[in-house]
Chain A
Amino acid sequence: MGSVRRRVDGKRLALTAALLALAVFWLSPVAWMVATSLKPTEDIVRLPPEWIPWPVTGAHYREVLVGSSRTARVGRAFANSLAVATGSVILVLATSALAAYPLARMRFRGRDLVFAVLVGSLMIPNAVLLVPQYVLVQKLGWLSTYQGLIVPEAAMLFAFGVFLLRQFFITMPRELEDAARIDGAGPWQVFSRIVLPLSQPVLAALAIFAFRSAWNDFLWPLIAVNKPDMFPLPVALALLRSAYSSDSYGPIMAGAALSALPLLVVFVVANRRIVEGVRLSGLKG
């Protein structure tokens, strides 16, 4: 018995050790990116690779944030991305919560049809909408504006938000809503004072999911923005690459590391919520 147990423990230990080694390997592209961003230019191309930068410099970060003549300023792009992601989170949360509530709780004609169309639309590939959406946004005069990025991004996530929130609303006990109604509360009051506060976890999961999606989107802003001052981060970074080509990876890696920062912070603070949001996204299939 004892030897079996030891053998099993030995296996476990070996598995954990292998996984730890794989984890270190898994993080190496990011580690290399951060190490490069902190090295003085002359150290960057040195071989063998130096994983721990010494001496450390913040010069590349200063260069991309404040901006030299060669770059679309990453500092400005960072602010653009923050504005676009925040705006689209608010728009997605507001529209999908409002729409999901009657779909979960009220009786009206066309309810099943509306829901079926929304769920069906989850299968539409975004690339298919690229050209007509550009034509539309151009006609609205929204090219190179925040609304030209926020509104299509929010529209893209609306159906998923409705699906996610409706599932949650359906599983909520009705008693509190009934009690409020007996006390004379109207539908809006029931929704805003009872339903929304009880839905905080799922709203947070959706918010993080929407933030990640808007923060990282690349193809739509690549075509919908043509003023350098309005570039969000992924577009600015892609252009940073051609601006520096291969003569210095320092500023490029500094920009890339900066772009990872907000979601890293969210990830450390709310790891659970992100994973929850992603897990729930799997339900749509």
Chain B
Amino acid sequence: MSREARTAYAFLAPGLLLFAVFRLYPLLEGLRLSFTNARLGRAAEQWVGLANYARLVEDTRFHVSLWNTAFYTVASTLPILSVPLALALALNRGALRSLLRSVFFFPFTLSVVTVGLAWLWLLDPVVGPFNYYLRALGGPARSWLADPQTAMWAIIATTVWWVTGYYLVIYLAGLQDIPRDLYEAAALDGASAGRSFRAITLPLLRPVLLFVVVTHVIGSFQLFGQVFVLTGGGPGDATRTVVQHLYETAFQNFFQFGAASAMAWVLFALILFFSVLQFRLLSGHPEH
């Protein structure tokens, strides 16, 4: 082995050790556990083949959590794509932009628990300001988080508020990379603002849009914190998510590690499937 190679391995060793023990090993160990009946404190766990996966086919609560997670992912994608994009277009130039960017970014520095608590209080059915002003405007005040029709939408609104700043920064970076003279040329040709948005901005932002969608979908499939704080999965099971179901199976309900690991791998497979699908659909070169 050359001296350079020896040095390189020495530099890499601490990090790769950390990575191998706490990322790679757990990944494979999780797959193995999903084929066993492992539980906390069970000395001799047994190989059960696909039994954990077969049980998921019967587990109606798991189906409900999958459905809720899918609903959340689909319903939140459009606002998550468009709200930060609209803000980025408005804040790309103009007065006060750095102050305004900071304001919209700020919620992203908060923890999901802090965000959840703030919104819980804001949306309080009796004394929260949101319902107060809504009532004052003649709107339909109600218990947003306790109503199965609206609870998931309240969680989506909370999440949009929380993460908009993150995607705003990503979009702004993408917009800065678009050459200004393209817009000038389009303006000289008499193109309207809407036309140059469709013909220049959108096609050139495609890689950024792809990143935002994929990141959002990976995050959405793992929705947990907002639900834990805002609704606890309720009312009934109206906002129960896959990760919440996994968490309860593994840590609240007899520590069923084997069953929870099977859920984790179903989740992983779904995330991979949709990520690849999005790459297929959205990547590729803009027409111009």
Contact = CB atoms under 8 A, between A and B. Distances in A.
Interface of A: 12, 15-16, 19-20, 23, 26-30, 32-33, 36, 44-49, 91, 94-96, 98-99, 101-103, 106-109, 111, 114, 118, 121, 123-136, 138, 151-152, 154-156, 158-159, 162, 187, 191, 212, 215-219, 222-223, 233-235, 237-238, 241, 246, 249, 252-253, 256, 259-260, 263-264, 266-267, 271, 274-275, 278-279, 282, 285
B224 interface: yes
B106 interface: yes
B118 interface: yes
Interface residues of B, number: 91
A interface SS class: helix
B81 to A, nearest CB: 14
Given A26-B107, A127-B264, A152-B22, 7 more contacts: A102-B8, A106-B7, A107-B8, A151-B22, A223-B247, A223-B251, A275-B101
B113 A237 contact: yes
Contacts of A237: 111, 113-114, 117
Given A99-B16, A102-B8, A219 B94 contact: no
Contact of A132 (B29, B126, B207): B29
B70 interface: no
A259 B111 contact: yes
A121 B121 contact: no
A98 B29 contact: no
Interface string B4-42: 110111011011101101111111011001000010100
B261 interface: yes
A238 to B, nearest CB: 5
Interface string B184-221: 00000000000000000000000110110011001001
Interface of B: 2, 4-5, 7-9, 11-12, 14-16, 18-19, 21-27, 29-30, 33, 38, 40, 90-91, 94-96, 100-115, 117-122, 124, 126-127, 129, 132, 161, 166, 169-170, 172-173, 207-208, 210-211, 214-215, 218, 221-222, 224-225, 228-229, 243, 246-247, 250-251, 257, 260-261, 264-265, 267-268, 271-272, 275
Contact of A218 (B15, B111, B170, B251): B111
